[in-house]
Amino acid sequence: MAPGGFDALAGIASPILFLESGHPGLIDRVLLNTAAARQFLGLSAPGRWSLAEPAALRAVGLDLAAWMTWDWGDEHASETVDHRIGPPDKESWWRLTVSRVRAAAPLRLMANASRIDDLYRTHNLPDTVTTAVVEEIERLAGFGHYAFWPQRRDGLWSSGMARIWSVPEAQSPREFENMLALIHPTDLERRAAGGERATVAQDTQEVRIVRADGEVRNIRSIAAQHIDAEGRVQQVTRIDQDVTELRRAEEELRLAREAAGDAARAKEAFLHLMNHSLRTPLNAILGFGEAMRDQIYGPLSADYAQCIDAVNDSAQRLLELVDDILDLTRLESGRYSLSKSVCDLDQIIAETMDLMAPRVTERNLRLAAAAPSEDPVTVWGEE
């Protein structure tokens, strides 16, 4: 197409650049309008258009070779890409919308541009200051951040991110797809099974990563996508936090709960043993002992009657001991309620004396109890 043909299109679309390619992957000719040539390359040429060498454009940040890899099958196909263009001391951010201007060969592309420095402008502080502040914040909070600009095919990987993922900053992956190689295979399959998430504006995920030394870490990520009016992702911002120690603490807590549950079950088993395996036989012993003491099955000699009384007393004391243990256990679990009643204090003292008498006799001791009066004394208590 002659420059005049470009002029005809330029009158409609106001482009800054035309590109022509007669063979796949090869650039035959690039035309810049005069203003763009002056802005990007510092060229001053007569007329509206200037021929430009792809190598010269690549030197100032405008790599046209990448454009040749895009799918241009449709006449109306277009791509939007951001470039930082210009000499080192005069760089500016530009957003280029590249469109195909004809379907038949050769491939001809037209680019419109708008300056977007404000979109990428940061605080008016020296880079060294802002970088140091961000690194300190990340270190204190245990975070790292990552940003990726799909239109620029470029990314930003902070020192905190490199620390969390245990990847040297110089070797940090610049595109999200490269980061997937570090994700644990099981979590990668689960992530893929979760379906396409590209349309989600903000998302929180947790995955395990496998570091270069083989250590597995748990990473919690919060990502946000900046989507333009046409639905295209312009920027992906992501914050990662290493939550490995938190997950380990949760696992230790879970194991402790399980151990506590095992202890509770063992306690319940013990109570069941005390309640059924001991109380039931003791009740049987007491029942038969009382029947023999009452001579239901026939008369007993004085010696046998004394033995039966001793058996009954011992069985009764053992049964009371079992009941006391069960009551103590119920008290510990908060399931015991006192049953208040009127108790005969003289009877309690007499039963206690009888209970202690054998041990006192064995040790050649003397046990005595005295009451201030012969009147019966009653108290409120729990028998």
Q: What is the DSSP string of 18-80?
A: EEEESSTT---EEEEEHHHHHHHH----SSSEEE--HHHHHHTT--GGGGGGS---STT-EEE
Q: Where are the domains of the chain?
A: 3-120, 127-242, 244-336, 338-383
Q: Which of 154, 145, 117, 143 is nearest to 234 (CA)?
A: 154
* Third-level CATH fold of 244-336: Helix Hairpins (1.10.287)
How confident is the model over 276-327, as pLDDT tens digits? 777 778 878 888 888 888 888 788 888 888 888 888 888 888 888 888 877 7
How confident is the model over 101-128, as pLDDT tens digits? 876 778 888 888 888 877 766 544 455 5
Say what the pLDDT of residue 254 is: 92
* Domains 3-120 and 127-242 agree in fold: yes
pTM as predicted: 0.42
Q: Which residues of 260-291 are buried (b: 16+ CB within 10 A; e: fewer)?
A: eeeeeeeeeeeeeebeeebbeebeebbebbee
Residue 343 and residue 379 in contact, taking contact as beta carbons nearer than 8 Å: yes
Q: What is the DSSP string of 227-243?
A: E-TTS-EEEEEEEEEE-
Q: What is the 3-state secondary structure (H, E, C) of 151-180?
A: CCCEEEECHHHHHHHCCCHHHCCCCHHHHH
* Third-level CATH fold of 3-120: Beta-Lactamase (3.30.450)
Per-residue DSSP letter, 88 = G
Domain spanning 127-242: which superfamily? PAS domain (3.30.450.20)
- Structure tokens of 306? 């004394």
Flag whether pLDDT at 153 surpasses 80. no
Flag whether pLDDT at 252 surpasses 80. yes
Flag whether pLDDT at 8 surpasses 50. no
Peptide bond between residue 106 and the one before it cis (omega within 30 degrees of 0): yes
Distance CA 133, CA 131 (A): 5
Say what the pLDDT of residue 371 is: 76
Q: Provide the residue type at 280 as one letter.
A: T
- Confidence band for 357, pLDDT divided at 50, 70 and 90: confident
Which residues, including other chains, have CB under 8 Å from residue 87's CB and lie 6 or more apart?
Answer: 42, 60
**46: number of Cβ within 10 Å:** 6
If you average pLDDT over residues 13-20, what whole number do you get?
A: 78
